[in-house]
């Protein structure tokens, strides 16, 4: 019994004729076209996987070059945020106590209502300016603290 050598993979689809039969040879051209499509799809898929791998490798290199640890990043985010909130609350407390001393009696409430919009805009502007200054300096402070910690780690 001599073994037959196959040139192409057998067509195992439903209703396919056995390899070597007359009807299987008529499908060989279609089968070769499908095989070429499969090869191009496989090559395209491999190329996309290699592209993703290259991007992951580049991101890993960037992360390794970044001297900030997760704790450093959290500290640099939290310190300015907490400082800004505390400063804003402190500013509001000072503002409220100052405005109560200026207009303590209910006799001038009508005048206070007329000036209410102006005072609200003034409070918003002053509070925003104060908050910006405090947050900016606390950001610089947190950066200098993290830089000092990084120098100690080396």
The tens digit of pLDDT for each residue in 45-60 reads 999 999 999 999 999 9
Identify whether residues 32 and 99 lie together within a single domain: no
Identify whether residues 128 and 72 lie together within a single domain: yes
User: Domain containing 104: what range?
Assistant: 68-153
Count of alpha carbons within 13 Å of 55, Cβ hemisphere only? 6
Identify whether residues 125 and 75 lie together within a single domain: yes
pLDDT at residue 26 tops 50: no
Identify whether residues 72 and 142 lie together within a single domain: yes
Quick check: 83 and 138 in contact, CB under 8 A? Answer: yes
Quick check: 89 and 81 in contact, CB under 8 A? Answer: no
Identify whether residues 110 and 36 lie together within a single domain: no
Identify whether residues 54 and 76 lie together within a single domain: no
Task: List the structure tokens of 34.
Answer: 């499908």
Please check whether residue 2 lies inside any domain of the structure: no
Give the pLDDT mean for 119-136: 91
- Band (24; pLDDT cuts 50, 70, 90): very low
pLDDT at residue 11 tops 50: yes
Q: Provide the b/e sequence for 32-56 (b: ≥16 CB within 10 Å).
A: eeeeeeeeeeeeeeeeeeeeeeeee
- Which of helix, strand or coil describes residue 77? helix
Identify whether residues 50 and 78 lie together within a single domain: no
Q: Which of 27-31, 103-107, 120-124, 130-134 has the lowest mean pLDDT?
A: 27-31
């Amino acid at each position: 019994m001599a073994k037959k050598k196959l040139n192409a993979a057998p067509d195992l689809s439903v209703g396919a004729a056995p390899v070597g039969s007359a009807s299987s040879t008529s499908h060989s051209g279609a089968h070769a076209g499908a095989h070429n499509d499969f090869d191009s799809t496989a090559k395209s898929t491999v190329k996309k996987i290699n592209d993703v791998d290259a991007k992951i490798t580049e991101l890993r290199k960037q992360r390794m070059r970044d001297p900030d640890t997760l704790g450093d990043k959290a500290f640099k985010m939290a310190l300015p945020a907490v400082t800004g909130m505390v400063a804003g609350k402190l500013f509001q407390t000072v503002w409220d106590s100052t405005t109560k001393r200026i207009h303590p009696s209910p006799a001038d409430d009508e005048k206070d209502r007329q000036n209410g919009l102006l005072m609200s805009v003034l409070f918003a502007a002053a509070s925003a300016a104060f908050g910006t200054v405090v947050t900016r300096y606390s950001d610089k402070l947190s950066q200098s603290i993290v830089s000092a910690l990084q120098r100690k780690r080396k």
